[in-house]
Amino acid sequence: MALALVTASSGCAIVRAGEVGVKSRLGKLNTKIYAPGVVGLNPFTSRLIRVPTQTVNREVQLNLPSKEGLNVSAEISILYHIEAEKARDVLLDVGLDYEEVLILSVFRSSSADICARFFAKDMHSGKRAEIEAEILKAMASLLQPRGFVIEAVLLKSISLPPGLYTAIEDKLEAEQEAQRMEFILQRERQEAERKKIEAEGVRDAQKIISDGLTPELIQLRSLEVLQDLSSSPNAKLIITDGKAPVLVGPPDTSGGQ
């Protein structure tokens, strides 16, 4: 009977996977952090506060300021979790409403400060990853010491102000056209350089030939031509001074005057 009474007056609680437990006895938090499992407690004087430690994905819709003063509508995901060993500190410093009190407040301030350094088009282009990293860094510097680990900040969707999409598309098209023209000019410059090198090569070759045409060489070549002509079976008239042969033509064999 006495055993049954003790059992009835005692209690237990269960800490589930992905969370830790902190006992509160008469309003004071126990220093021990309870891992998942069964935790015994006195239901009349104590209660178990469960603190989630798994990754939380909080999606936020807000307007972000840009460098040029525009408001950009954005949907952003914040991935974070609480360090298990600091669960008691979180309860002491902030309480169970830590997400609204601390996480979202720090996020709104950090994202506004970071996005104000970038143009609106940057949030929709290749600088998106840089903006995400900067927001994460700013949040982590404030929240990490208090037991929160910011895993990622993800800009899921960006809605630019009306008319800005067209301006961005026109700018991108102009940049692509400029790149195309630069390619054409570069190709033309390369072709002009090729022709210049080719002309210089022809000039140099002609200069070498011209420099090599000495009177002796001209005379030797003339004699070689004369020798070739004299060995030909065709009748011909050659007038020469022994230096430069001149082919007049075959003699008239028709008997005419």
Tell me the residue type at 125. S
The residues, any chain, with a CB within 8 Å of residue 161's CB and separated by 6 or more, are 70, 71, 72, 120
| 192 CB neighbour count, 10 Å cutoff | 10
Can you tell me the distance from the alpha carbon of 67 to that of 113, in angstroms, rounded to the nearest whole number? Answer: 10
Give pLDDT, residue 236: 59
Residue of 21 and 212 predicted with greater confidence: 21
Tens of pLDDT, residues 120-169: 878 877 788 999 999 999 999 999 999 999 999 998 888 776 666 565 55
Tens of pLDDT, residues 30-87: 889 999 999 988 888 889 999 999 999 999 998 888 888 888 888 999 999 999 999 9
| Mean of pLDDT values over 191-197 | 84
Give pLDDT, residue 119: 86
Give pLDDT, residue 256: 47
Residue of 173 and 9 predicted with greater confidence: 173
Give pLDDT, residue 166: 63
Q: Give Cα 119 distance to the centre of its chain.
A: 17
Alpha-carbon distances of 105 from 42, 83, 109, 148, 162, rounded to whole Å? 37, 19, 6, 14, 29
Tens of pLDDT, residues 209-234: 666 666 666 666 666 766 666 666 66
Ordered domains of the chain (ranges, CATH): 8-52 (no CATH), 56-164 (3.30.479.30)
Give ∠ CA 167-170-172 in degrees, rounded to 5.
110
Using a cut of 0.85, tell me whether the model's pTM lies above it.
no
Backbone angles phi, psi at 100, to 5 degrees: -75, -40
Secondary structure of residue 124 in the 3-state scheme = helix
Average pLDDT taken over every residue of the chain: 80
